[in-house]
Structure 1
Amino acid sequence: MTQLGLPEEILACLFDLDGVVTKTAAVHAAAWKATFDAFLREREGEQFRPFDAVTDYDEYVDGLPRPDGVRTFLASRGIELPEGEPGDPPDAPTVHGVGNRKNDLLLATIRTGGVEAYEGTLRYIEAVRAHGLRTAVVSSSANCRDVLRAIGAEDLFDVRIDGVVAAERHLPGKPHPDTFLAAAHDLGTDAAHCAVFEDALAGMDAGRSGRFGYVVGVDRAGQRDALYAHGAHRVVDDLAELGGQA
């Protein structure tokens, strides 16, 4: 293992955004809860059962593209909605409408409360780059660039594969490995020479199915065993544990 806590053959590092680089996972979870609770309260009436911002978030929406999160969670409640269109208003009873409602709430929270970064992650990325490794951010979020700019970290990544790029290239999101594979390709390397850094179980699945050289699980939610079960080679609480920093 190198000073960075990585196998010698690793040439590039692919970082998830929410929960790995930024402290936005809790903001996402809160936005999903507000969205789904309002929808379910109207739909279920006296049988209303709220969205759990820990269990339901981890199992059904964390790491997934927004429409997939809507479909997956609602399917767990036996609910199916028409797809609608990406431009549906946030009150439309469609998959895209519910997703857009969540995104509006998220953006409002980010605008009013700002975005925080995990300082241990930023220092680790700087160390990775100082050692000559290339870096990419891989996120299902369509707001990835705005978030990176908000924390002054856009220049820390050679490549950005986010929800906007995935839509343009017709790449399926996590747990499929396609977005990570696209990042590796754009960095000029292959999966075997890339390390993936993820906090979501869907991201672990993507790392495993894509046969990446090393997969690091970042345990922000007390799911260490699950991260290993879904394909992590190593699990840390913070990337500072991997070394490479002064």
Structure 2
Amino acid sequence: MLGLPAHVTACLFDLDGVLTQTARVHNAAWAETFDAFLRQWATAHGQPFVPYDPGPDYNRYVDGRPRADGVRTFLASRGINLPEGAPDDPPEANTVNGVGNRKNDILLRRIHTDGVQVYDGSVTYLHAAARAGLRRAVVSASANCRDVVASAGLEDLLEVRVDGVVAAQRGLRGKPHPDTFLAAAEQLGVKPEQAAIFEDALAGVEAGRAGGFGFVVGVDRVGQATALREYGADTVVADLAELLTGRDAA
């Protein structure tokens, strides 16, 4: 009744874009950050300004990755290589970490202003999974995961949290590596093949497949169902509630 194979006993959910609609806020914060940086860079280097594209640029280079990886990967796509800097670099520093911290400041401002919205279908699915006795974890690259989960009122529905803070503390590689998902499965006391991954990001789906997980659900919020399948999703839905009715997106 949950749209999962019988051998699955645990669900590992990405946060942004799967449980909460903060992916939109993240993307807006990335756009504000990168456009300001690219405009400054173009002026300093006598180049034309080409803005960040919140469609393909977000999905290809940023979505699902740890913050610094997103900065590094996107800027590399523009032929820009910045010094790494340090995690506590000020937001005005033109380093990978500085640009990442700039984005985080903008994100927190937007979350404070706009709040956090959940996907109703995902909350319905979480309740159904809890009633069915499935173990439940949230796995996110975000260092703000705890605050977002609390703001969204999802704390009681999620037993384990592995986020950017935990990953940094434990030295876990971010998606597309499977480390954070494997850590969540271990904390829940299940083997990877007993767990299902729920991801809207291509990097997250890739991580689920790389980790040998029992089932990978791609959540298509932006019209990339084909790409999600190509990266390894076993099934693709537009909303988790579809799994409760047995529907599978094309």
Tell me the TM-score normalized by structure 2.
Answer: 0.96
Conserved 8 A contact 1:12-1:134: yes
Conserved 8 A contact 1:128-1:244: no
Report deviation, 1:204: 0.7
Residues 208 and 175 of structure 1, relative CA distance in 2, 3 Å threshold: same
Query: 2:136 aligns to what SS in structure 1?
Result: strand
Residues 163 and 102 of structure 1, relative CA distance in 2, 3 Å threshold: same
Unaligned runs of 5+ in 1: none
Report deviation, 1:244: 7.4
Give the equivalent residue in structure 2 for 1:233. Answer: 234
Q: Distance in 1 between matches of 2:11 and 2:70?
A: 26
Unaligned runs of 5+ in 2: none
Query: 2:26 aligns to what SS in structure 1?
Result: helix
Give the equivalent residue in structure 2 for 1:11. Answer: 9
CA deviation string 1:179-216 (max 9, x = no partner): 00000000001110000000000001001101100000
Query: 2:198 aligns to what SS in structure 1?
Result: strand
Conserved 8 A contact 1:28-1:106: yes
CA deviation string 1:3-40 (max 9, x = no partner): 11100000100000000000011111110011011001
Q: 1:40 aligns with which of 14, 38, 41?
A: 38
Give the equivalent residue in structure 2 for 1:49. Answer: 50
Give the equivalent residue in structure 2 for 1:163. Answer: 164
Percent sequence identity over matched residues? 64
Report deviation, 1:112: 0.7
Paired AA for residue 154 in structure 1: E
CA deviation string 1:48-89 (max 9, x = no partner): 100001110000000000000000000001111111111111
Q: 1:21 aligns with which of 1, 16, 19?
A: 19
Q: How many residues align?
A: 243
Report deviation, 1:234: 0.3
Give the equivalent residue in structure 2 for 1:110. Answer: 111
Conserved 8 A contact 1:20-1:218: yes
Paired AA for residue 30 in structure 1: A
Q: Distance in 2 between matches of 1:154 and 1:166?
A: 19
Report deviation, 1:151: 1.1
Give the equivalent residue in structure 1 for 2:64. Answer: 63
Q: Distance in 2 between matches of 1:9 and 1:198?
A: 19
Tell me the TM-score normalized by structure 1.
Answer: 0.97
Query: 2:59 aligns to what SS in structure 1?
Result: helix
Q: Distance in 2 between matches of 1:190 and 1:159?
A: 15
CA deviation string 1:90-122 (max 9, x = no partner): 100100000000000000000011000001101
